[in-house]
Amino acid sequence: MSQDRYRNFAELSEEQTPEVDYRIDYRSRGSKILLMAPHGGRIEFYTDHAVRMIAGPLFSCYTFSGIKKRGENWDLHLTSHRFDEPTGLSAAQDAETVVAIHGQKQKDDRFVMLGGLDTELCRRIEKNLRTAGFDVRAPASGMGAVHPANICNRGRSGKGVQMELSAGLRRALMNDSFCRGKFALASRNALLTVSKKRW
């Protein structure tokens, strides 16, 4: 059973105010791959920055970010298979493939957990990140992102990727420009490689 305060965005929007409690940012670049952070800002810190960092000028990106006072933003969390904010849902459905970035809570270790139904893209991202020196792990129980309604699987292909970044890794990305550059380049090149192969 979900611990979310709201069952869907319609309920959330009845009590929460845009540009006061949350912010939506969608940048369409006409790409077949969309990067998303459905829990950005202070919901799962730095995931929105990671999306924009990987997307660069090449890929479309969408972020839903909590901008309330610290400690109050979890109310804005909508579980991935029930995330239905209209702009984000439309952006996902317009893309061929969605890569959603989330925040895992482990503070001490730096790692990425990869899930989602697009196993080919998962393997490519894993290979690139490992080559760049990052720790990539199998998803923990309940984080496999295999539900067909998970936002990462809502693109036209019906399969996408979920990247769970540990809190330790997100802090490293936030504070270390070299680490940030390596991570962005490895991830982006994985997306480019698969894009060229498919389209």
The dihedral region occupied by 95, where left means phi > 0, alpha psi between -120 and 50, and beta the remainder, is beta
**Token reading at 188:** 């982006």
What are the extents of the domains in the chain?
9-198
Domain 9-198 fold is: Aminopeptidase (3.40.630)
124-168 confidence digits (pLDDT tens): 999 999 999 999 999 988 889 999 999 999 999 999 999 999 999
> DSSP label at 158?
S
Confidence at residue 1, expressed as pLDDT on a 0 to 100 scale: 37
Residue type, 83: F
Kindly tell me the sign of the dihedral angle through the C-alpha atoms of 61, 150, 99, 136.
Answer: positive
Q: What are phi and psi of 104, to 5 degrees?
A: -95, 150
178-196 confidence digits (pLDDT tens): 999 999 999 999 999 999 9
**Token reading at 160:** 């996408």
- pTM, full prediction: 0.96
Residue entry with tokens 């069952």: 7
With a cut of 90, say whether residue 62 has pLDDT above it. yes
21-56 confidence digits (pLDDT tens): 999 999 999 999 999 999 999 999 999 999 999 999
Confidence at residue 106, expressed as pLDDT on a 0 to 100 scale: 92
Q: What are phi and psi of 137, to 5 degrees?
A: -125, 160
Q: What CA–CA distance (Å, rounded) separates 127 from 191?
A: 12
Q: What CA–CA distance (Å, rounded) separates 133 from 121?
A: 18
The CA angle 181-172-188, to the nearest 5 degrees, is 30
Closest CA to 38 of 8, 14, 15, 59: 8
Q: Which residues contact 176 (CB under 8 A, 6 or more apart)?
A: none
